[in-house]
Structure 1
Amino acid sequence: MTIQTVDPRALRDAFGAFPTGVTVVTACDGDGNPIGFTANSFTSVSLNPPLLLVCLAKTSRNFATMTGTPHFAINVLSETQKDVSNTFARPVEDRFAAVEWAKGSAGCPIFSNVAAWFECAMEQVVEAGDHVILMGRIESFDNSGRNGLGYARGGYFTPTLASKAVSAASEGNIELAAVVERRGEVLLLGDDVLCLPSVDAHDGNPTEALQEYLETLTGLKVSIGFLYSVYEGKSDGKQHIVYHAVAGDGEPAGGRFVKPDALAAAKFKTSSTADIVNRFAMESSIGNFGVYFGDETGGTIHPIPAKGAKA
């Protein structure tokens, strides 16, 4: 896609391919009231002097306050704080009632249980198209050692869950599979008996191996998203790792895209496949996804909201 024909939504999706952390930017207004918003457009800038930046949309309701404040703070959320991210990404009235916080030395709200925080003096406000860049000079900070919450392609991911997946499957034959979706439809293989596309894992990066397999199978561009299911297959003796993935436009060379609501009478290769497809259909309808850990007969789902972080 050239810049002359750019679709803003497509460009936003392309930006979303870059995994980021999730932060809540905080300050106080002229009356001393706390304000805050979720942002993943945050990065370090310099060690000497200590500088960082975050981007703010000009349409933000916090625009006037944030561009005029002498101090602001960056709260880097930990992987247990998805609910905090969602709260500060939405127009909730008393956001700060839902989080434990205290004022920093410059008066900015600092959250408890974050991965890290930085309190800054406003160094510079830079015009940047439909956003501004808030450049902050760090005056105080702390690092808790907790893992940060991640965000990529419209969904949260957590480092601990990802490492648990590899650990859980490290001692057996590993099969990689994917729920490949496109505009609400799911890619399935087979005619009378349906299954998800899958490949045996070998040495190397599992997501790269899965992406290569899916792109060879379909002839389409495929992006691997968040971890979706990790389970032990008692019937086949394999450890199964299933990812969410998104396919590009075009007719797939292998498999076909099917609407999940058209599969009520479908026959699947395994009950696990049926469970995964049915769960995906239900979760995508409400916009909240989870990672399943267990076996073919039972396990637990760790909720991972699919939307919430915004630049």
Structure 2
Amino acid sequence: MSETDTLPDPRALRDAFGCFMTGVTVVTTIDETGHPVGFTANSFSSVSLDPPLLLVSIANASRSLPVFKGAKGFAVNILAEGQKQVSATFARPAEDRFSTIYWRKGPVGAPLIAGVSAWFDCTLHQAIEAGDHTILIGRIGGFEATQEPGLGYYRGAYVTPAATAAQLPTGPDVVISAILEAEGQVLLKGDGHGGLTLPMARVGREGVQTALSTLIASTGVQAAAGSIYAVYEDTAQACQHIAFRCPAVPGKAATGAFVDLTPEGVAEVSDPAARIMLNRLADEARMGNYGVYFGTNEQGMVTRANKGKDQ
């Protein structure tokens, strides 16, 4: 499929990005001799819907880096929950990682692994050196999402959607917030006391995902339910707080307005924990290296989760 062919539907792409942003992926390509090459990465990120772009990162020390930089393109294969062995195969050194894997060429030409939860086949749009990794930006030429649950990876262990859902707190003591991002801005609303706050909601019997969808809809902004950005115990409010990054389309909100994602723009956020979180997001957005915060509203740690793993 060439860049002049029909582009993937932006709405379907947005839904796919929202569902699979945190899954374990295998990034694949074809070398100059026609042989498949791949490595395991524990996340990828959407970059743009128009044109449709995504990114992954690969270690500069990887033996596969020259192949990926010189290839026509690459595919991102989001593994299904039953493909732990596939992840392990592509994460460790091997002469032929594809010898036990069934695969086919995608519409752009990169290897697509059978049985995955979803795949994106891309032409190489740009390769950017960033510290000890290189960012590969791909222009999506084809994609498919299936009903297979995805495989996750967190703190040295694999997780599945069922296990993750069981571990996420639910009930009246859980509060969620939606960080709706659009073109370097974030949506804030009045807190009723002269300050600003993120859109927030308390979770009831409906569960976290339904509560998040309802919260996004209440803002009147077109946005997708994104990835978890912070999980912390709010000792001041006696609740568990989960913050989600949600890519949004610029527009007028039902309540509140978009402000610049800068220290000055979020200075009037009344909750110190939320203000610190947004300042961190502003810094990470400039670097393009995002993490997930775990702890309390006073102290904790940030786990980086968007670098590729390659041996």
State the TM-score bracket (shorter-chain normalisation).
0.5 to 0.7
Cα distance in 2 between the residues matched to 1:222 and 1:209 = 14
Unaligned runs of 5+ in 2: 46-55, 69-90, 116-149
SS across alignment from 1:175: strand
Q: Match for residue 304 of structure 1?
A: 305
Q: Match for residue 193 of structure 1?
A: 195
1:77-108 CA distance string (max 9 Å, x none): 375999xx62179983499xxx74123xxxx1
Counterparts of 1:205-224 in structure 2 under 5 Å? 205-217=207-219, 219-224=220-225
| 1:188 positional shift | 0.6
Cα distance in 1 between the residues matched to 2:266 and 2:18 = 36
AA aligned to 1:92 is: L
Q: Match for residue 93 of structure 2?
A: 101
Which one of 117, 132, 137 corresponds to residue 109 of structure 2?
A: 132
1:161-193 CA distance string (max 9 Å, x none): 996686363587010111110111001111841
Q: Is the 8 A contact 1:162 1:227 kept in 2?
A: no
Q: Is the 8 A contact 1:261 1:281 kept in 2?
A: yes
Q: Is the 8 A contact 2:178 2:199 kept in 1?
A: yes
Cα distance in 1 between the residues matched to 2:214 and 2:226 = 14
Change (3 A) 1:283 1:11: same
Which one of 100, 103, 123 corresponds to residue 118 of structure 1?
A: 100
Counterparts of 1:9-24 in structure 2 under 5 Å? 10=10, 13-14=13-14, 16-19=17-20, 22-24=24-26
Per the normalisation by structure 1, the TM-score is 0.58
Q: Match for residue 71 of structure 2?
A: none
Cα distance in 1 between the residues matched to 2:183 and 2:293 = 23
| 1:63 positional shift | 5.8
Q: Match for residue 239 of structure 1?
A: 240
| 1:232 positional shift | 0.8
C-alpha RMSD of matched pairs (Å): 4.5
| 1:251 positional shift | 1.0
Per the normalisation by structure 2, the TM-score is 0.58
Q: Match for residue 259 of structure 2?
A: 258
Cα distance in 1 between the residues matched to 2:289 and 2:243 = 17
Change (3 A) 1:109 1:200: same
| 1:265 positional shift | 7.6
Q: Does 1:281 align with 2:282?
A: yes
Cα distance in 2 between the residues matched to 1:80 and 1:213 = 25
Q: Is the 8 A contact 2:266 2:275 kept in 1?
A: no
SS across alignment from 2:58: helix
SS across alignment from 1:252: coil
Cα distance in 2 between the residues matched to 1:259 and 1:196 = 13
Cα distance in 1 between the residues matched to 2:20 and 2:114 = 25
Q: Does 1:179 align with 2:150?
A: no
SS across alignment from 1:16: helix
Aligned length: 231
SS across alignment from 1:300: strand
Change (3 A) 1:284 1:254: same
Unaligned runs of 5+ in 1: 25-37, 40-55, 57-61, 111-116, 139-146, 151-157
1:234-270 CA distance string (max 9 Å, x none): 1111110111112224211111100022626823221
Q: Match for residue 86 of structure 1?
A: 57
Percent identity for Structure 1 against Structure 2: 23
SS across alignment from 2:213: helix
Change (3 A) 1:102 1:300: same
SS across alignment from 2:65: coil
Cα distance in 2 between the residues matched to 1:165 and 1:263 = 36
Change (3 A) 1:215 1:136: closer
Cα distance in 2 between the residues matched to 1:119 and 1:10 = 31
Change (3 A) 1:225 1:132: same
The structure that has the greater radius of gyration is 1
SS across alignment from 2:226: strand
SS across alignment from 1:216: helix
AA aligned to 2:275 is: A
